[in-house]
Amino acid sequence: AQTVTQSQPEMSVQEAETVTLSCTYDTSESDYYLFWYKQPPSRQMILVIRQEAYKQQNATENRFSVNFQKAAKSFSLKISDSQLGDAAMYFCASSGGSQGNLIFGKGTKLSVKP
Amino acid sequence: DAGVIQSPRHEVTEMGQEVTLRCKPISGHDYLFWYRQTMMRGLELLIYFNNNVPIDDSGMPEDRFSAKMPNASFSTLKIQPSEPRDSAVYFCASSLRRRPYNEQFFGPGTRLTVL
């Protein structure tokens, strides 16, 4: 069975600093995607970034980037120049090639200190 | 694109009453998911549909919960009878089975309070 593990229930970062959220996954699929979703206090689930397993280059979206280590099955999210609006719950998720659903981690709550 | 639409946004009901949550997926999406989120249990997948057919309902907590998808543009999640422990935020999400695989688009959620 596929699993996604986020080992940091809570993290804190100073405004303008950089923070890295950890995620490990386990899948038997060879073709899959990995995602990071953000859930601010408004509750809306927002896609932050995605990574295709076949691509070696790490995905980047503005201040958000990932460190994808396929052999280690690691998919961490780096937030640079943290802003107060980055405070949220962050969920890591993986897809399976033959399944229609996503497997979510339990989330990491990120606080940003002014 | 209107995104995934859920109604109502908030529901307050009394124990024993029937509750119906509604979802309209993004047009053209062939997968629909129902999730429940609580502080204690986090985000739980309840059931998902592919082309209106339930694929996996192993997350449905008990027989009081039922879900239907009569057509590609509408789904309901029903709780009958409701209990205080059903209080949670219920999300609907939809996706398309193509690259990027299974990227899900979430609705705003329904906050359910059972008194």
Cβ contact, residue pair B97, A45, below 8 Å: no
Instruction: Give the pair of three-digit tokens for residue B40.
Output: 């204690």
Closest Cα in chain B, distance from residue A45 (Å): 6
Q: Please state, in angstroms and rounded to a whole number, the distance separating the CA atoms of residues B24 and B94.
A: 9
Cβ contact, residue pair B100, A33, below 8 Å: yes
Question: Which tens digit of pLDDT belongs to each residue from A9-21?
Answer: 999 999 999 999 9
Cβ contact, residue pair A43, B89, below 8 Å: yes
In the prediction, which pLDDT does B40 show?
Answer: 87
In the prediction, which pLDDT does A90 show?
Answer: 98
Closest Cα in chain A, distance from residue B87 (Å): 15
**CB of B43 less than 8 A from some CB of A:** yes
In the prediction, which pLDDT does A102 show?
Answer: 86
**CB of A2 less than 8 A from some CB of B:** no
pLDDT at A1 over 80: no
Confidence label for B42 from pLDDT (cuts 50, 70 and 90) = confident
pLDDT at B101 over 90: no
- CB contacts under 8 A, A 74-103 vs B, are 91, 95-97, 99-102
Residue B82's alpha-carbon distances to A85, B36, B103, in angstroms, are: 36, 14, 31
Start-end of H helices in B17-97: none
Confidence label for B79 from pLDDT (cuts 50, 70 and 90) = very high
Question: Which tens digit of pLDDT belongs to each residue from B65-77?
Answer: 999 999 999 999 9
Sign of CA dihedral A47, A85, B39, A77: positive
Sign of CA dihedral B26, B98, A91, B82: positive
